[in-house]
Amino acid sequence: MPDLLLELFSEEIPARMQAGAAKDLERLVVGALTDRGLLFDGIKAFAGPRRLTLAISGLPAKQGDVREELKGPKVDAPPAAIEGFLKKTGLSKDQLKVETTPKGDVYIGVIERKGRETRDVLPEVIRQAMWKLPWPKSMRWGPTFGFGEGAYGVTTPVKWVRPLRSILCTFDGEVLDFMTAGIRASNITHGHRFLSVGALTVRRFEDYEVSLKAARVILDAEDRKAIILDGVKSEAFVHGLEMIPDEGLLNEVAGLVEWPVVLTGTIPNEFMDVPAEILQTSMRTHQKYFSLSHPESGKLANRFALVANMIAEDAGKQIVAGNERVLRARLSDAKFFWDEDRKIKLADRVDALKGIFFHAKLGTQYERVKRIEVLSGYVAGKIDADVANAKRAAFLSKADLTTGVVGEFPELQGLMGDYYASHDGEVAEVAEAIQEHYMPKGVDDLVPASKISCAVAIADKIDSLVGFFAIDEKPTGSGDPYALRRAALGFVRIVLQYNFRINLADVIRQAFLALQSERLLLGRTEGSFSSIEDLTKSLVSFFAERLKVALKKMGARHDLIDAVFALGHEDDLVRLVARVEALQAFLKTDDGTNLLAGYKRAANILKAEEKKEGAPYIGEVVPDLLDAAAEKSLFAALSEAKAGIAPALEKEDFAAAMRQMAALRGPVDLFFDGVKVNDENPKLRENRLNLLASLRAALHQVADFSKIEG
């Protein structure tokens, strides 16, 4: 079966866009082929600095014929309806069939389309995919010729990520003759910009890949990554060092070179007293160098690895020398910032935060620091941390935003605060908290190590959440610009990691009061919440969703979290998780499964009756009206269970509460087996419904069983 080879050859595509563009090109082409009924055996997509490539195997030579029957309006339908159907099908009235149905005679339109040659279909597929590629950024280039024929217009300027230079497109080994963006497809491609000479003529993917390699182009990004990784490790080994892993940099560099050659250079000793993180960040950000370390100590070595896109006659000596000169200039700037920053104490920088806005409606970073300081003291008191040190760390937590190093390398905020605070003689835990209060930064990141750090981290996250929710800047389905989901998940992870007994509603109220005290809500901003209760309710619900994410990895069921949260008074996350775990264990038993089934039966009966009568049953059972032995047994069991469940919950002995519920399983089964709830006697009926309402209330002491699936 025929194969398709497509290469879009352009000026340098930004490395960060390449992998996504290859996936998008594959997705769009597959979608367009599928829509046209063209199935295939396999597809591969590749991306590099100057080309996107797609290789599809096993395409059919032509589309299959299509026969489709469309049901239309009735024969006696209004003329407008019939005309609309004719327009939709492209048929005339005498071409329609009439079919008799139980509802009368209807028109049937039979549409038959002959399959087209795949060679004729592919150009429109390729054009459609090319111009639908969702580049994060693109540019307009070239003369103002059009994208090509038909729907792509004739005067629109070309807009793509970078200027296209050629399009290689062959089908079954022959060129697909089409034109787009002023470029005619051919079987010509190009090798390495400097290491090859002349154009390459290819027919199929097999000779395409081989020809490129001979012309010093490694097509597959994974192959380039493997070469770079092996090269850096080998060069490090030669010098008795090892590579500091950096997957992000590896992916980026693999998108910058077509023929990777790894070389090593030297960092001048005069810069080695600058913190390693500054050196690494400068080399990584500006120069794309890999850092190396001493295997024994793990400390940064005075050597780096670079990846050239060139085979040099002098084994790369001039390339290394040139890179060392550039690096010296870069590190000189970094060292200057480092030396200058230490001349001003971190505490003396806090006032400068008055000139840095956190958010127009939430004040400056200085105002935010004052809020976090108050809140950190409150949280520290709740988790048995040193209140004074927690407040001191919070006061200094954002001061490094005014430093030269953080201005140059924003990703080092927090870390530099740790360095500067240590230099100033601050308490070690205070300095550490300045760095750790940003943690965890992601799902797999570590949580803060000390209680002081945890107090500031919690305060920082809660302040953000309360502030942005109060001004109605909540996350949406399509975006979370202030990373509030991450902040909430970070809070959840810290609390669960250390079993901190923090009342979520209380800490939210404290943060809200801090906002009010600065008149940020009572004058300068307009919140969407009419009361602190509304804000608290909304945020607790938001935290419930984040808790589901955190507990999913632990195997907890999301419906049980909903069931416990639905009680409305459970916002101690540690206690909530313990309750969920106990409930989950109970529901895995036969007693739990059967009791849940009995609850749902009772709840369905109550729901139907309450809907008819327009009022709820509140569980006020009259003992003298209990007639059958089974209902007397259930009433006694419920009385005992209610008396036992409440004290068990109060002591947080959730296992004991589950045992009390397990004891209800037998009486509930007997009740439904032997008692008619909707008795002819209205008093007996009402009493039995109240008995079921009493069962519902007893179980709702533990969780809202109506939220539980199954």
Q: Residue 312: give the domain boundaries.
A: 221-341
List of long-range contacts for 171-177, beta carbons under 8 Å, 24+ apart: 171/2, 171/3, 171/4, 171/5, 171/59, 171/118, 171/119, 171/122, 172/2, 172/3, 172/61, 172/119, 173/3, 173/203, 173/204, 174/203, 176/119, 176/122, 176/123, 176/126
Q: Is 238 exposed, middle or buried (0-12, 13-18, 19+ CB in 10 A)?
A: exposed
Coil, strand or helix at 175: strand
CATH number at residue 688: 1.10.730
pLDDT bin (cut points 50, 70, 90) of residue 147 is very low
374 vs 550 pLDDT, higher one:
374
The answer on 323 and 263 residing in a single domain is yes
Q: Is residue 573 part of a domain?
A: no
Helix (H) or strand (E) holding 533: helix 532-552
The answer on 594 and 694 residing in a single domain is yes
pLDDT for the residue 142: 67
Q: Is residue 562 part of a domain?
A: no
The answer on 42 and 30 residing in a single domain is yes
The answer on 42 and 185 residing in a single domain is yes
Report d(CA 683, CA 691) in Å as an integer: 12
**Average pLDDT in the 668-695 region?**
90
CA atoms within 13 A on the CB side of 287: 26
The answer to whether residue 99 scores a pLDDT higher than 50 is yes
State the amino acid at position 322 in one-letter form.
G
Q: Is residue 563 part of a domain?
A: no
Report d(CA 483, CA 441) in Å as an integer: 10
**Average pLDDT in the 499-514 region?**
92
**End-of-domain residue from the set 148, 179, 214:** 214
The answer on 333 and 360 residing in a single domain is no
Q: What separation in angstroms does the CA of 552 have from each of 500, 555, 556, 557? A: 20, 5, 5, 7
Q: Is residue 532 part of a domain?
A: yes
Report d(CA 165, CA 560) in Å as an integer: 58
Report d(CA 500, CA 382) in Å as an integer: 8
CATH number at residue 474: 1.10.3210
**Average pLDDT in the 106-125 region?**
88
pLDDT single digits (tens) 41-92:
999 999 999 999 999 999 999 888 777 788 889 988 898 998 998 888 888 8
pLDDT bin (cut points 50, 70, 90) of residue 629 is very high
pLDDT for the residue 154: 38
Start-to-end CA span in the chain (Å) = 50
The tokens 């590749």 sit on which residue?
46
pLDDT single digits (tens) 344-368:
999 999 999 999 999 988 989 999 9
The answer on 126 and 33 residing in a single domain is yes
Q: For 63-67, 103-107, 155-159, 302-306, which range has the lowest pLDDT when averaged over its residues? A: 155-159
List of long-range contacts for 666-671, beta carbons under 8 Å, 24+ apart: 666/637, 667/630, 667/633, 667/634, 667/636, 667/637, 667/638, 668/594, 668/595, 668/598, 668/599, 668/602, 668/634, 668/695, 669/594, 669/598, 670/630, 670/633, 670/634, 671/630, 671/631, 671/633, 671/634
pLDDT single digits (tens) 450-506:
999 999 999 999 999 999 998 889 998 888 999 999 999 999 999 999 999 999 999
The answer on 126 and 47 residing in a single domain is yes
The answer on 393 and 274 residing in a single domain is no
> Considering its fold, how many domains does the chain have in total?
5
The answer on 250 and 202 residing in a single domain is no
The answer to whether residue 186 scores a pLDDT higher than 90 is yes
Which residues does residue 70 pair with via DSSP β-bridges, in sequence order? 109
The answer on 164 and 143 residing in a single domain is yes
Q: What is the pTM of this model?
A: 0.80
**End-of-domain residue from the set 214, 237, 254:** 214
- Comparing CA positions, the residue from 401, 406, 419 lying closest to residue 354 is 401
Q: Is residue 521 part of a domain?
A: yes
Round the CA-based radius of gyration of the chain to a whole number and report it.
Answer: 35
pLDDT for the residue 143: 54
**End-of-domain residue from the set 189, 214, 239:** 214
**Are 395 and 378 contacting, i.e. CB atoms less than 8 angstroms apart?**
no
The answer to whether residue 35 scores a pLDDT higher than 80 is yes
pLDDT for the residue 328: 96
pLDDT for the residue 444: 81
**Average pLDDT in the 198-227 region?**
96
Give the ranges where 553-589 is alpha helix by DSSP (H). Answer: 558-565, 573-587
pLDDT single digits (tens) 243-257:
999 999 999 999 999
Report d(CA 235, CA 262) in Å as an integer: 8
The answer on 378 and 329 residing in a single domain is no
The answer on 242 and 103 residing in a single domain is no
Q: Is residue 595 part of a domain?
A: yes
pLDDT bin (cut points 50, 70, 90) of residue 449 is very high
